[in-house]
A and B are shown apart, each in its own frame.
Chain A
Amino acid sequence: MFRRVLVANRGEIAVRVIRACRELGIASVAVYSEADRSALPARLADIAVLLGPAAPAESYLSVDAVIDAARRTKADAVHPGYGFLSENAGFAARCERAGLVFIGPPADVIGRMGSKLASRRLMAAAGVPVVPGVEPRDQTPAALERAARGLGLPLLVKASAGGGGRGMRVVTDFDELPAAIDSARREASSGFGDGTLYFERLLPRARHVEVQILADAGGHIVHLFERDCSVQRRHQKVIEESPSPALSPSTRQRLLEAASAAARAAGYRNAGTVEFLVDSGADGQQAFYFLEMNTRLQVEHPVTEEVTGLDLVRAQIGVAAGQPLAWRQDQITTRGHAIECRVYAEAPHDGFLPRAGRVLHYREPRGPGIRVDSGIAEGSEVPPNYDALLAKVIASGETRDIARARLTAALRSYVILGVETNVAFLLRVLEHASFQSGRIDTAFVDTNVSELVGPPDPGITRVAAAALAAAGHKPAQAGGASAGGAVDPWTILGPWRA
C-alpha cells in the first residue's frame, strides 16, 4: 500500500480523497493555489504545498508544479480527483515516468477515451450503440456546415476534446450554426487545446443514465449499477440518483452489460463511468446510446456508494496499489435509493451564472440518511477562478420518496450565507411534480426554467424582513437556548408548517 498520496485537486473532492487516505492510514499531501491558501484541503491534509498563482494554468493545471510538489514531499502516488488533470493522459504518463503511481487508468486508456471521436469509434466497433452523428474529416467551416446540414436538426456541435458541457452547443436552426461552430471551437481550443468538432443528433427527450465501473490490474471488471443524471442545466448535472426511476428491468440489464463490454473494449482499469442516453420511442421501447466514457472518479460517485455500500475512493486506491477487486459481480447489490444535489455558488435567476464571495455563516444539515461532501466552511473564500461547486448533499432511504423527503428537509436547513447558491432552485426541482413522478428528461430544467428560478414565496420574504427587523432592534438575549453554545437550535427543532 502507498505511504503518502498527493491529492492534485481542490474543493470537496480533495477533502473526500484526504479523508479516504486517513482511513487507510496513508499520509496525504494537499496542493493549493494562492486563492486557496485558507481552504479546507490545505488545512486537513498532513502536508500542504503551494502550487502557484490562482490561475488554473499556473497551479492545478500545471503538470510541472504538481509533479514537483510530489517529488519534494516524497509522495508515492497521485490522486487527480475529477476535472483539472484527471483526464490528462500526458499527466498520467509524466507521473509514471517520475515513479509516481497515478490513481486512475493507464495513460493510453485515458488518451483513447479522452477523444470523444476515438471512443465513439471504438464503442461502435465493440457493438455498443452510439448516438447517430457525423464526424467530418474536413474541419473547415464550410465543410462542417455541409456535414451538419446533412445530419439534420436539432443537433449538437461537440468538441472531440470537450467535457463538462464545455465545447458543446445546441443548434435548432441552421442560422445559428456558424456562431455555434465558432464558439464551440473557441471554448474547446482555449479549454482543451484541441478544436476538432463533430455533430450528433440531439435527442431532446432522452435521459442521461451512466454506469459505474471498477476494474483491477488483473482484468477483472465489475459494474456498480447505474446513476440517472437527467436533471441538467447548461449541460451540467445538478441532481443525480440511483437507481434510475425510468429504466425497465430488461433495459437496465442490457445497459449494464453494454457498460461492462465498453470497459473491456477500452482495456479499462480503476474507476470509470460509461455514459449513455436513454430514449423512449413512441412504442414505449427504450433504446440507449453510448455517449462517452469518463476515465476518473465522477462528482456524483457518492450516489453509488450509498446504494451499494462500497467506498469507491478506497477501491481506487486499492486497485492502483495492485490489489485485486474484493468482489465478484454477483456479490455487488444495491439497497434502497439515493439522490444527490450539487450545491453551486451561482445565480439561477441570472442564467445560472457563477458567483464568488466569502462564506459568512455556514451550517451543514445532519440526520439519518444524510451525507454532505463539502469543500467549504465558515469563513471560506469562494474564488472566481474555478468551478463553482461548493458541496454535495446526498440523501438515502429505503424508497425514492423517502430519500427525496430527506433531501428536501436537509436543504431547508442547509445555511450558507455570504454567497448566492442554487439551493432554492434545487428545492423547486425536488418538489416539482415531474421530478416527484420520475418522469423527466435532460430538457426538464430548460422547459420549466421560469417556474424553477422565479421569485421566492412572498410569505417567506415577509418572515425574512420581520426577523431581520427584530434582530436589528433587539440584541441577542442572554440566557436564551444557545447560552454557552451548549444547545444548538438547529438540532432541537426544525421548521414546521401547519
Chain B
Amino acid sequence: MTEDELTVGGRTHRVSRLTDGRIRVDGHAQALDVVVLDEATVRVTDGEAGSWLVSIARGAGGDRWVFVNGETFLVATKRPTTAGPSEHDDGALSPPMPTTVRQVAVTVGDLVQKGDVLMVLEAMKMEFAIRASRDGRVAAVHGRKGETVGPGTRVVALEATGHDET
C-alpha cells in the first residue's frame, strides 16, 4: 500500500487507500465512500456528514486542482505551491505574474524593516506593493521603472543584518 503526501493550502496530509476501501488521512481511517464518475469527477460520501461531488484536474508539474462544494484547492504531492509575491530561501521577492515596475523605492544597501514598501508594481491595471517580508538590508534590485518583470523574477533580494546581541 502506498501513502501519498499531499499538501493542501499549506498543510501536508498523509493519505492512503486501505485494502478494505477506506481512506486513511493522517492516520485516521475514514469510511469514505468514493465513486469515480468520470475522469474529472468523483463522488465522496462521508457517512451521515454529507456527500460531495469533487472535480479534479491535473495542472502544471503534476499538481492537481480540486474543487469541492465551492472551495478550490491546489494540491501538491511534493512542495506547497506559493501564491502572491513569494519569498525565496535567500529572502528574494518575486511577483506572481508579469508586471510593470511603477516605482522602485529602495537601492542596494538600504536597511529596511518588515512591511516597508520596496517596489510598486502594476498588473491587470492594479498597483500593488512588494513589501519587505522581514528586517534586512537590500542586497539586490532587479527591475527599473517602466520595465516588465516576469513571474519568478527576484525583483528585490534581502540579506540579514547582524543580530543585536543585547
Contacts and interface: CB of A to CB of B under 8 A. Distances in A.
Co-assembled chains A and B: yes
Interface of A: 164, 166, 183, 186-187, 190-191, 234, 347, 349-351, 353-356, 360-361, 363, 384-388, 411-418, 420-421, 423-424, 427, 455-457, 459-477, 480-482, 485, 489-490, 493-498
A20 to B, nearest CB: 26
Contacts of B96: 347, 350, 353, 355
Given A347-B83, A386-B124, A489-B37, A415 B55 contact: yes
B66 A482 contact: no
Contacts of A347: 83-84, 96
What range describes how many residues of B lie at the interface? Answer: 35 or more
B6 A473 contact: no
Contact of A361 (B13, B40, B103): B40
Interface of B: 2, 4, 6, 8-11, 13, 15-17, 23, 25, 30, 32, 34-44, 46, 48-59, 64-75, 83-84, 96-99, 102-103, 120, 122-128
Which 5 pairs from chain A and chain B are nearest by CB? A350-B84, A482-B38, A417-B65, A360-B57, A497-B50
A186 B103 CA distance: 10
Q: Chain A CB within 10 Å — which of B16, B56, B103, B125 has the most?
A: B125
- SS of A interface (majority): mixed
Given A417-B65, A481-B37, A191 B70 contact: no
B128 A411 contact: no
B37 A411 contact: no
Given A470-B23, A496-B51, A461 B8 contact: yes
Nearest to A473: B17
A467 B44 contact: yes
25 contacts: A186-B102, A347-B96, A350-B96, A351-B128, A353-B84, A355-B83, A388-B124, A412-B70, A415-B67, A417-B65, A427-B70, A459-B49, A461-B13, A464-B66, A466-B23, A467-B68, A468-B15, A468-B54, A469-B4, A472-B4, A473-B17, A481-B38, A485-B38, A494-B53, A497-B49
Contact of A474 (B36, B46, B83, B102): B36
